[in-house]
Amino acid sequence: MGLDDITFLRKGTDEIINVNPCEIEIKRHVESEDEYGSLISEDITLEKQTVRIAELSHSETQRLVIEGVLKNHLVNVTAKFDADIQAGDRFEFCDKTYKILFMRKFWLGGFSKDCIYKQSGRAEELNEEV
């Protein structure tokens, strides 16, 4: 397994995304300390990223609703190896707000960032009531 294998898998990920690409703008909540140790909390917006958002199968969604596991709409998110997407991030899709539940990196031949060939995760629609 070498660089050619990683390149091949990354191209495959690009092809998967290009079947139905979606450009999303990630909003991330970050906290840091200032020089006095006070907590600074802010929301930042990252550069737009191209991903593929796919519906879960209807049978899986229905099963999760019946079991009481799922209350909101879920989607799968497939991203390129170098995407900057983390659990807790939010984005807009089809006029609804989603929150990333998890993103997993897929590796081949090691655990350095050079061995990542894609990222995949799940996002939940938020029903924000004011």
How far apart are the C-alpha atoms of 113 and 92, rounded to whole Å?
28
Q: Are 47 and 21 in contact, with CB atoms under 8 Å apart?
A: no
What element of type H or E holds 66? helix 58-66
Question: Which residues make Cβ contacts (< 8 Å) with residue 39, sequence separation at least 6?
Answer: 31, 32, 33
What residue ranges define each of the domains in the chain, with the CATH number in brackets? 3-125 (2.40.10.270)
Q: Does the pLDDT of residue 56 top 60, yes or no?
A: yes
Tell me the mean pLDDT in the region 23-41: 93
Q: pTM higher than 0.85 for the full model?
A: no
Q: Does the pLDDT of residue 1 top 60, yes or no?
A: no
Tell me which of 15 and 60 has the higher pLDDT: 15
Per-residue pLDDT at 130: 43
